[in-house]
Every structure is written in C-alpha cells, then in structure tokens.
Structure 1
Amino acid sequence: MRVLHIITGLGVGGAEQQLRLLLRHLPARCDVITLTHPGRVADGLTADGVRVTDLAMGGNRDIGALFRLARHIRAGRYDVVHTHLYRACVYGRIAARLAGVRAVVATEHSLGAQQLEGRTLNAGIRALYLATERLGRATVAVSPTVAGLLRGWGVPGRRIRVVPNGIDACRFRFDEVRRKEARAFYRLPQDAYVVGCVGRIVPGKRFEVAVRALALLPADVRLLLIGAGPEQRTLQHVAGELGVADRMLMTGELPCPPEPLPDAPDLPSVLSALDALAAPAMEETFGLAVLEALAAGLPVLYTSAPALADLPAQAAPRARRVTGGAGDYARELLRLRAEGTGERAVPDAVRHYSIEHTARQLMDVYTAVLSGHDLEASPS
C-alpha cells in the first residue's frame, strides 16, 4: 500500500511529531508533502528514510500550489492520501480528487469548541471545512471529544473514526542520570521543586496561569516553559512584573529522540528533570503533553485533556483536573509537593495509548476506505 501524507508544515509541534512517530510504525510505504515550512520534523523524517517534499506554498491564495499538489499525487500513484491540519486538509482533499484518488483520509488534530489550530472559529472556516470534508472518505478524530464536535458540525457519523494519538512510552521513562544532567544544563538546583509546562507558547495554552502561580509559591520552586512561540515576550514581561523572572526559564523547542540536539537535552530528559507538569489550557484536542508527562511518572495538573476525560479516573491516579486560575494551580502544586514525589510509576492511561495500537487502527481505516466501506465513530 502506498500512502501520501500531506501536512501544513513540519516545524516542531504535536501533530507534526505525531506524524513522524506514526510513520515509524505504519506497515505501508509512506511519503510526505509539506505545504510550507519544512522544519526540524522534516529533517527527522528524512533521517528516518521518508521522502519529504516541500510544496513551497506561498499562502492561502497560492492556487498554483493546488495543481502542483495534484501532479505530485498523480505521479506517485498513491492508494491513499492522508491529510493533517486545516490547510492541508482543504487543499489535499481537492488535489486528491483532481488526481483521481478517492481514498482520502483526514486526521483532525486540533479542533476545539471555539478554536481550530489556534484560530477562532467562524462561519467561513466551518463552511470551507465541511465543503471539502465531503470530498474525503474518512475523518479521523483523535478523541471521542473531537468526534462529538465533528458530528455537531454536521459530519456524518459513518465517516468518522476515533483513532487516538499514540505514544512511545519507553522513550519517556524516568531516568535519574538524565534528570541530573538536564538540571545541570539549565542550572537548576538539584533540590529545587521544578514545575514544567510543555507546548507552543501561545495564548491558548494559558501558560501565564503557571507564571502567576509561581509568584504564589516558595522561593525554591522553579518553572520551566518547554517550547517556543509568540507569547514568550509577554510571559517574560509578566514574570518580571511579578518578581519571578529569575525563577522561570524557557527552553525553546526541544527535539524528541532519537536525535537530541548536540548541545541540549531532549524532551524526555527534561521531563525527567521535572517534579510536576502543569497544563492550564482551557481547550485541548487530545492532551499529548499530559500523556508524555505521565509516561515519565510525573504528577500532572491539567484543565483540559480529552485523552484522560475519556478514561476512568483510576487510569491516571496522579492526574488531577484544575478548573480555576493561578491560585488554584498554586494550591494544588503545594499539595503535590507535600505529598512527595513517590515512585515514578507509569499509569494505565499511558499503556492505553500505545503508538503500535494507533498504527493498527489507522491501517484498518485505510483498508475500509479502499474497499469503499463507511466508518462508524468508535471508542479508542
């Protein structure tokens, strides 16, 4: 089976890294086209032996890119076209039809009740999404929560399949040596209580809540913001105003194994260096950072994590939902600190979302769309 994956960009992000991880486990011949921005994940895919093509799309009005994409699809003689992220889904579905490929699958990574990939939803975005969705055979939702939103939009249930994101838990296993090395690299005291936030530093992640919580916590507590994004200066300013700038550190983008930067720890190493994870975003599509932290044996405070909401509470006993703001997060962090770190046990929630299981489920979707069968939304 030949499968072409089309994605909007290949910078360091959840959907992009999930695609790379997935391609290591899919038993199919896969190529990737990125519409724009072939960043660090593109380099990683190439190192994995995946052929990556940059379409060099000039923006949403670059109609010529649509025809270039159709030519690539036709020339590759692909059995299945699989699109990821909004712009790639819109252009990819149309181009696949132009190229004569009807077995088109789209994964919905970032749909929330109010936002789609950080943009506020409006009638135009929704109309274009629904119009092009009809050109595909299946829409994959990464959680039952997302499947429900898609049905609410009017996507027929027979074309929706729940295939949750997967995680390679072994890569995130706690390691005492990596903990000490990462703390030394970032000049974090070995006895400090370190809280982390992971993700794109954008307003929707609400990392400001964690910065304000830091100001309410003892002086030996540190905050590590793991990621990059346009909100960095704002958070630095807030930390300065609150007098905690010297207790907050931004790591920038971090790679996942097996290609750590030569001069910096990778994400699993930094997770080993933490004592707790805070995830204050009000609206998440899945909550992959929460699962990665749980795989590292960390206690987690979160506001939105559909991956956990769709499981029984005992599947992640050290994860607690916090619905309030900075004061609530500060109180819960003090509680966690008083309880102590304990054993870095990996909860059942992590095993539930193995990448091998995700790959098997996705291959079932490919088989169904190639045979022309309808899908039905299913639990993970």
Structure 2
Amino acid sequence: MKRVLHIITGLETGGAEHQLLLLVRHLPVHCEVAVLCDAGSVAEAIRAEGVRVHQLDMRGNRDLTALPRLVRLIRRGRYDVVHTHLFRACVFGRLAAWLARTPRIVATEHSLGDNLLEGRKAGLAVQMLYLASERLGAMTIAVSPTVYRRLAAWRVNPRRLAMIPNAIDEQRFGFRPDRRAAVRGRLKIAEDDYVVGIVGRLAAGKRVDLAIEAFAGTRCGTLLIVGDGPERERLQALAGRHGLNGRVMFTGDVADVPSMLDAMDVLVSTSAEETFNLAVLEGAASGLPVLYYACPALEDLPAEMCSGTEKITDDPAEIARALERRRARGQVRLPVPPAAGHYGVPRQVSGLLEIYGAAPAAEPALPSSSNTTKNV
C-alpha cells in the first residue's frame, strides 16, 4: 500500500482543511498528515479517523527551522507521495520533499483567485516563489476549471497541471431532523426561529460584514456564523453596533458542519473571490436554499444542475430583500441539486490515485488516540 504524507498550512475550519479530512477518510492508501501551524478542530477530526497528525509548530512564514524538521520527518516516513495543500505548505513541503528525494511530489491548489492567493494579494514576488516551488513537483492539481485557467495564466506548465474538482460526501450532508433538533436545543434556538447561516473562515475576503448588515435589515430570527478567524472580534463589534446581540451567534471552529447546516434555514455566502466555495455546495447538499456571491463550483456547471441556489449582489439592501423572500416561503428543505452528485467522492479519489501512481496526466478538457507527533 502506498504511503502518502499530506502537508497543509493549518487545520482550522476551512474548505481546504475539510477536503483533506475527506481525503483521509476515503483514499485507499496509508495517509499521514503534517500541519505547519495551527492544529484546530479539523486536526482532531483527522485523528479520530486513526490518522497520525505531525505538528511542526512553525512560528511564521520565515521560520526556516521548520524545513529541516520536515525533511527529517519525510525521510523517516519513507513516503511514496508527498501531497501539499495551501501556499506555505506548498513552498516548504515541495522543497522538503525534493530534498528528501520523495518519488512523487504533488500539490493541490485550493485558493488562487484572480488577484489573491488565500485572501492575500498575489504580487510578482509571490508568483515567482510559487512558480519556483511548483517546478520541484510532478503535478499541480486545480480544484475547478476556474483555478485551472488561473494557474495556466500564471504560466504553470500545462504538462504539470491536472483538474480534479473538490468533492462532497452527499451522505454526510443529507438533512437529518434529529441533528437539527439537537443543535437547536444546544444553542437554545426555537423550533420556529428562521435561521440564516454562514459557514467559513472569518477573514476579510469572506466579507461576512455584508451578511451582518443585510441580516440587520430583515425580520429573520437568528444569524448563525460557523467558523473562526482574525475578523471575529470586529464582526462581533459590528453586530453589537447594529443592535443584534442575542440574534447573532458565533459558534467558533466546528468540525461537525453537517449538523450545523441542518439547524439553518438558508445559507448565505458573501465571499468576493472564491476558487470553489465548498460551503455553498455543502449547503445545497443539505437541502438548504443558498444565496451566494461567488461560487465557481456552481458557475462552472449548467444552470439546470444548480436548482435551489441564487446568485446575489454585494448590496446589503438587496441581500436583505433576498433573505426576506426566502423567509416568506417558510422553513422548507429543497431537493438536493444535481451539482452535489456531480462532485462525488469516487471521481476525486480515482483521479488522485492515477496521479499518485502514474506519469503526469495529459492536459484535461475543461467541463461547460491522539496519534500526534509534535516538533519533529
């Protein structure tokens, strides 16, 4: 059985982090995970799967002491494949794997926007560092046709590019009334309370402030914000200024996203620049009506596959009106749109296994126990 080491920057709640959790659950290979920085709730969920998580405790982008520790970890593990996720992990992980002479080095690009990389401006220096590290690997995987086109525009060699979409485990996200009742009971949300939900990292690029301002202009009962990040205190203060204390709930970092979605009545995503937007797809798989500003996962598909979803502007007043229209329809669960099935796990797993064991793939056609090791 192949031995695969996944290297990721952090393991708090986020799309890339939850994709890694999905991979270690379903890939028929021996997986271990190395996390450079924060090991949050997703790390605990990965450990619960019986997968070892190695913590590097990296202190920042310029903490070069992490590199020799990572090289030693890779050499000791005798991995067949090193698979990196997110920018810092790709730069350090590819170099460490190359120094350790790993047979196959691959990366997944989760978060490349038109002008941003993981929410930060991607200037010339960042692009040059990205491209230099990319040449150390065998393959870079784009999570959507949108990301594939952006990587090509950055002049990544097409012979080292593949497109394997993010995946969703539909069975985990299917609506369950018992989970809805349990979560609402724990959070003291009334059964008939109309709940607007947000799922994701609380960072500036997600523009959660727009959703809070929009919610303030509605008669919806509760705004449930699932996730954590550097913007949390500012967003809590904003909710207070709008007089929403008691109506806006911040849950923090939560591993069990399906249960939180079950407690909601509509999902909103105001994020400006997305590469896939897994949260929107997961909401749709839960049968939620979904309002979104940017979601390549849906925008790359025909409209008839995306029933129950609605594209919105970034005007809080217009978002408020869209929320009121949804509230007027009551607490309804919708049929799961075909888009959720399109992004099934088997497709992702088979694509990755081919890359793990094969020569570089041809350019794809674009579709219309604590198990923890510290300080290695």
TM-score for both structures, normalised by structure 1? 0.92
| Structure 1 consecutive aligned stretches of length 4 or more whose deviation exceeds 4 Å | none
State the one-letter code of the partner of 1:310: D
Deviation at 1:113, TM superposition (A): 1.1
Match of 2:240 in 1: 240
Pick one of 336, 340, 347 that aligns with 1:350: 340
Deviation at 1:319, TM superposition (A): 0.3
Match of 2:51 in 1: 50
Equivalent residue runs for 1:272-283 within 5 Å:
272-283=262-273
Match of 1:221 in 2: 221
Q: Distance in 2 between matches of 1:243 and 1:39?
A: 31
Give the secondary structure class of the aligned counterpart of 1:161.
Answer: strand
Match of 2:117 in 1: 116
Match of 2:363 in 1: 376
Deviation at 1:68, TM superposition (A): 2.2
C-alpha distance 163-374 of structure 1, shift in aligned 2 (>3 A) = closer
Match of 2:193 in 1: 192
Q: Distance in 2 between matches of 1:143 and 1:246?
A: 38
Q: Distance in 2 between matches of 1:359 and 1:378?
A: 18
* TM-superposition CA deviations, 1:269-318 (whole Å, max 9, x none): 22111110010111111111001111110000000111001111111211
Match of 1:162 in 2: 163
Q: Distance in 2 between matches of 1:27 and 1:336?
A: 42
Match of 2:147 in 1: 146
Count the aligned residue pairs: 366
Give the secondary structure class of the aligned counterpart of 1:328.
Answer: helix
Moved more, 333-342 or 126-135: 333-342
Are 1:84 and 2:74 counterparts? no
Match of 2:230 in 1: 230
* TM-superposition CA deviations, 1:37-89 (whole Å, max 9, x none): 23332232222121221223233333232222222222222221111111110
Computed over aligned residues only, the root mean square deviation of the Cα atoms, in angstroms, reads 1.7
Give the secondary structure class of the aligned counterpart of 1:246.
Answer: coil
Q: Distance in 2 between matches of 1:300 and 1:290?
A: 7
Q: Distance in 2 between matches of 1:233 and 1:376?
A: 44
Asked whether the equivalents of residues 198 and 267 of structure 2 are also in contact (C-alpha less than 8 Å), the reply is yes
Match of 2:311 in 1: 321
* TM-superposition CA deviations, 1:216-272 (whole Å, max 9, x none): 112x5321111112212222222222222232111111112xxxxxxxxxx222211
Deviation at 1:199, TM superposition (A): 0.6
Q: Distance in 2 between matches of 1:322 and 1:25?
A: 34
Are 1:291 and 2:292 counterparts? no
State the one-letter code of the partner of 1:231: E
Match of 1:367 in 2: 357
Q: Distance in 2 between matches of 1:173 and 1:90?
A: 37
Equivalent residue runs for 1:198-209 within 5 Å:
198-209=199-210
Match of 2:322 in 1: 332
Q: Distance in 2 between matches of 1:212 and 1:151?
A: 37
TM-score for both structures, normalised by structure 2? 0.93
Asked whether the equivalents of residues 214 and 221 of structure 1 are also in contact (C-alpha less than 8 Å), the reply is no
* TM-superposition CA deviations, 1:118-169 (whole Å, max 9, x none): 2221111111001111111100011100011100111122211111111111
Deviation at 1:343, TM superposition (A): 4.3
Are 1:68 and 2:69 counterparts? yes
Q: Distance in 2 between matches of 1:104 and 1:157?
A: 16
| Structure 2: runs of 5 or more not aligned | 368-376
State the one-letter code of the partner of 2:321: R
* TM-superposition CA deviations, 1:97-125 (whole Å, max 9, x none): 11112521000111111211122211111
Q: Distance in 2 between matches of 1:176 and 1:46?
A: 28
Match of 1:305 in 2: 295
